[in-house]
Amino acid sequence: MKILVTVTEVADADDEFEISGTSIADQYLTYDLNEWDDYAIEEAVQLSEEHDDIEVVTVTFGAERVEETIRTALAKGADRAIRVWDDSFEGKTILDPSQKAELLAGVVEEEEPDLVLSGVQSGDVAIGATGVALAEKIGYEWAAVVNQLDLDRDSGVASVHRELEGGVEELTDVEPPAVLTIQTGINEPRYASLRGIRQAQSKPLDVVSPDDLGVELEESAIELTELVEPESESDTELFEGSPEETAGQLAEFLREQGVGA
Amino acid sequence: MSDVLVVAEHRRGELRDVSYELLTAGRELADSTGGDVHAAVISGDVDSYAEDLNREGVDAVHTVEYGEEFNHGVYTQAVEQLADEIDAQYVVAGNTVNGLDFVPAVAERLDLPLVTDAVAFETGDGLSVIRELYSGKTEGTVEVDSEEAFVTVRPGEWPAAEGTGDAAIEAFDADIDESELDTTVNGFEEVGSGDVDITEADVLVSVGRGIEEEDNLPIIHELADALGATVSASRPIVDNGWLGQERQVGQSGKKVTPDIYIAIGISGAVQHVAGMKGADTIIAINNDPSAPIYDIADYGIVDDLFDVVPALTEEFGG
Ligand SMILES: Cc1cc2nc3c(=O)[nH]c(=O)nc-3n(C[C@H](O)[C@H](O)[C@H](O)COP(=O)(O)OP(=O)(O)OC[C@H]3O[C@@H](n4cnc5c(N)ncnc54)[C@H](O)[C@@H]3O)c2cc1C
């Protein structure tokens, strides 16, 4: 059995930043493994630890820089990795879930995994649609926002909990092959061990181009044409001064409200 | 082709609030295209839902009788067929857990573009969708270069449609292929009950990822004790198992309406804000002045929580 985990890197903006064109200028961004994907990796690795015959493969779309993030996934226990890239994508952010799905579909067709685990969303752009779009494209079943997964190897059914709003979970059976989008909190992601980090260096990391996968992206109908720092609608009254001073002012306000009396 | 199809949401016998907001968002789009607003309601007690959905600005409500609760296979097929039947220009649904479980699939089937989590539209020459990017720190304009498109709309951004409309209520006989329904919904489970009820608290001291480590939590408890307040949290604290699920505030946790909500090291992500924007007074302690929590906070201290929180506790003799 094979599990494919989609892994992406997200950009986190500094407290102070500037916008250049339709992006935050690169010097204000730090890149990290997407929080939701960390849980997806962990879920796959835990399954592979329970069942000897499960192979965990990761797929990431991105320039060479993302290999650091991919090595982290390998260090946490994935068996091998695929990076999809072609220099023509340099400097572009793909916002179209269908295009992302198209790129991933090329890999799914080669690898034919039984399960694809994706994060619910990428923390930075928060589109939240790629996993389900992928499922539809490749003819897999799916479930979005999964926070519990029990795989019954005999019946072949994945019993999941989907986390709905307001503290309610939906109990659902999905028949693989399927794409599940994984919600934070489903498990406790491990830290990469030193041994894992060493082993990751020798695990296979293949780089393929969309061309190699036979994927030709059509022009997207969606384009980010402007990016702004929204005018703060805030009328927050800020307490100013040293921590003692600000704490003092806040305390006074709270006392006026009858708190702590 | 100028009509707008809005897909209502319901759960366990009730329409969800977002459904009425979708009607307003749909009306805004239909005003720009000069078309009609069609609402679709699928599964459950569709006739009574249809009556509720018949609000001002709605031209037609299509009911699809099939099963009781949301099933993405049923929704995907029904919405695909309805969009085709009425020749919809735009299809609007909620940017909700279930919205994101079927809309991407329908958009994919129809090979139409999808923009998620809209907070506003710019209409005129075509459609542009305003949505947040980079964790709410920036706002982007996404231009849709297509006659037809799918949009999911963030809950709480459009006002609910009101009044009573004169919509035609019509049963739509969707042709649901059962062999395609490989996902079965077996029921629901309530989570997050525990020995505290944060929804009852007058004052909440709420802690977020800014606290960094479980070992730092005592400063939060000490403050809460000194204030006679209850401790609540953002999601990462609960995901890490540092506090129980009954203390989680937000979309998937509890909705709270205390007199005073003190957000400490919480950025103010939309899913968190969904649970606490009803607080009378919101106070933020966060060292990042660009954090979205300051869009809704009444009072704030832009400083290091590890300095401010102990000083505040001391003020109250803690
Ligand atoms: C389907 C779905 C459902 C969700 N449901 C919920 C939900 O119910 N509730 C919820 O909370 N989230 C929910 N989330 C997650 C949400 O998107 C955010 O990831 C989460 O709210 C972030 O929590 P946070 O603000 O504590 O952490 P972060 O966003 O990491 O913010 C930490 C903040 O702490 C500040 N900080 C750091 N160090 C210090 C310091 N020393 N002093 C002062 N400030 C400091 C930082 O400036 C930052 O603003 C959901 C997400 C999804 C996709």
State pLDDT tens for residues B39-77: 999 999 999 999 999 999 999 999 999 999 999 999 999
> A161: which chain B residues are within 8 Å (Cβ-Cβ)?
189
Question: Of B213, B220, B267, which is best to mutate to test ligand 1, by the most ligand atoms within 8 angstroms of its C-beta?
Answer: B267
Whole-number pLDDT of residue B195 = 85
Report, as an integer, the average pLDDT of A16-41. 95
Whole-number pLDDT of residue A82 = 98
Whole-number pLDDT of residue B194 = 85
Report, as an integer, the average pLDDT of A47-75. 97
Residue A84 clears pLDDT 90, i.e. is over it: yes
Residue A4 clears pLDDT 80, i.e. is over it: yes
Whole-number pLDDT of residue A231 = 79
Residue B264 clears pLDDT 90, i.e. is over it: yes
Q: What is the pLDDT of residues B188-233, one digit of tens each?
A: 999 988 889 999 999 999 999 999 999 999 999 999 999 999 999 9
Rg (CA), chain A: 22
Mean pLDDT of chain A: 95
Whole-number pLDDT of residue A100 = 96
CATH superfamily of A2-213: HUPs (3.40.50.620)
| A217 touching B (Cβ < 8 Å) | no
Residues 129 through 168 of chain B touching chain A, CB cutoff 8 Å: 132-135, 137-146, 149
Q: Outline where B92-190 has alpha helix (H).
A: 99-109
Question: What does pTM read for this prediction?
Answer: 0.96
Question: Of B271, B285, B294, which is best to mutate to test ligand 1, by the most ligand atoms within 8 angstroms of its C-beta?
Answer: B271
What is the CATH code for B3-180?
Answer: 3.40.50.620
Share of chain A above pLDDT 70, in %: 99
Q: How many Å lie between the alpha carbon of B34 and the closest alpha carbon of chain A?
A: 22
Domain boundaries, chain A: 2-213
Output b/e per residue, A46-74; b: 16+ Cβ within 10 A: bbbeeeeebebbbbbbbeeebbebbbbbb
**pLDDT confidence tier of residue A260, bands split at 50, 70 and 90:** confident
Strand-strand pairing, B37-42 and B3-7: parallel
Residue A133 clears pLDDT 80, i.e. is over it: yes
Angle at B172 between CA B167 and CA B176, to 5 degrees: 150
Q: Within a 10 A sphere around the Cβ of B119, how many other Cβ atoms?
A: 17
Share of chain B above pLDDT 70, in %: 100
Token reading at B127: 């459609």
Report, as an integer, the average pLDDT of B114-120. 98
DSSP B11-40: ETTEE-THHHHHHHHHHHHHHHHT--EEEE
* Residues forming CATH 3.40.50.620 domain(s) in chain B: 3-180
Whole-number pLDDT of residue B192 = 83
Report, as an integer, the average pLDDT of A107-125. 97
**pLDDT confidence tier of residue A138, bands split at 50, 70 and 90:** very high
| A188 touching B (Cβ < 8 Å) | yes
| Complex ipTM | 0.95
**pLDDT confidence tier of residue B22, bands split at 50, 70 and 90:** very high
State how far the Cα of A138 lies from the Cα of A140, in Å rounded to an integer: 6
Q: Outline where chain A has alpha helix (H).
A: 35-50, 67-75, 97-111, 130-138, 194-201, 243-256
What is the CATH code for B198-317?
Answer: 3.40.50.1220
Mean pLDDT of chain B: 96
Lining ligand 1 with CB less than 6 A are: A 120-121, 145; B 97, 208-210, 234-236, 248-253, 265-267, 269, 271-272, 275, 285-288, 291, 304-306
